[in-house]
Homo-oligomer: A and B are copies of this chain.
């Protein structure tokens, strides 16, 4: 069976699922990765694509994604300075497995909304 507990069966080893996914399944991470799907973008372009993320939080999330090796950060000192973010190989792979979930979400949105409505009506 699948191992999803904090520690794997071999004690002392962290669960890869949790350890990797916790940095991808946040409110913004997957959205940011998806925004880079078609090629590198500059900081402000990522911000525009995601829409309602603050500068502080975007920076924070970009750094975390860079740290995990999903994207690179390239600085072109200007002036004005231009910083662009680009998916790495692993980052592109990750986006590929992320996309089916995104499609699923779009396709099943109505169903989920209906389920919520029916649940709330019963309670």
**A contact residues vs B (CB 8 Å cutoff):** 1-2, 4-7, 16-22, 24-27, 30-31, 34-35, 37-38, 49-52, 66-69, 90, 93-94, 97-98, 100-102, 104-106, 108-109, 111-116, 119-120
A1 to B38, CA, bound (A): 8
Copy count, this protein chain: 2
In the complex, the answer to whether B49 meets A120 with C-beta atoms within 8 Å is no
Main SS at interface, chain A: helix
In the complex, the answer to whether A34 meets B105 with C-beta atoms within 8 Å is no
Q: Given contacts A4-B51, A67-B119, A67-B120, list 4 more A-B pairs with CB under 8 A.
A: A4-B49, A5-B52, A22-B27, A69-B119
- Could you give 9 example pairs across A and B, Cβ below 8 Å? A2-B35, A2-B37, A4-B50, A6-B51, A16-B105, A22-B27, A69-B119, A90-B115, A97-B104
